[in-house]
Amino acid sequence: MINDMNKLEAKLTVQWQKWAKAYLDHTCLWEIKVARTHLFPFSAVKDHQIVALKAAGKKFIYKLSDANRVQMPCDGVTICNAPGYVVVIFYQPRKLKRFYMIEVSVFLDAQAKWPRKSLTAADCSDLAYKTGDL
């Protein structure tokens, strides 16, 4: 199941990147997460991902791996004063895939105050900076 989820997330990430290339107009850091049910658990976003998304608001520096088989565009990136987003994609086979870009600070605030341990698509819509379809 995890391998299938990784493949699905990889496929949807490529689709989201196409959307971002066409429509996203600012520098940011993002983490794609896929919900295969009607709920997205807060726990799906891991601590190290939160740390990186928050760091983009100040200074995020990342060295790209030289060990990859594909040619990398550069050695690393530095992102300063940029928002970090949790991008939640609700997936149902053969249906439109809707995504919700939630700023990491909004996500963390909701996580601390939410009465449940997960979000619905409607919750994500209320919290989102931007939504769209893939």
Per-residue pLDDT reduced to its tens digit, 4-49? 668 888 999 999 999 999 999 999 999 999 999 999 999 999 999 9
Q: What is the pTM of this model?
A: 0.90
* 108/5 Cα distance (integer angstroms): 24
64 in Cβ contact with 72 (< 8 Å): yes
> What CA–CA distance (Å, rounded) separates 52 from 37?
26
Model confidence over 51-96: pLDDT tens digits? 999 999 999 999 988 877 778 888 999 999 999 999 999 998 888 8
Mean pLDDT, residues 107-124 taken together: 97
Domains, in order of start, for the chain: 2-133 (3.40.1350)
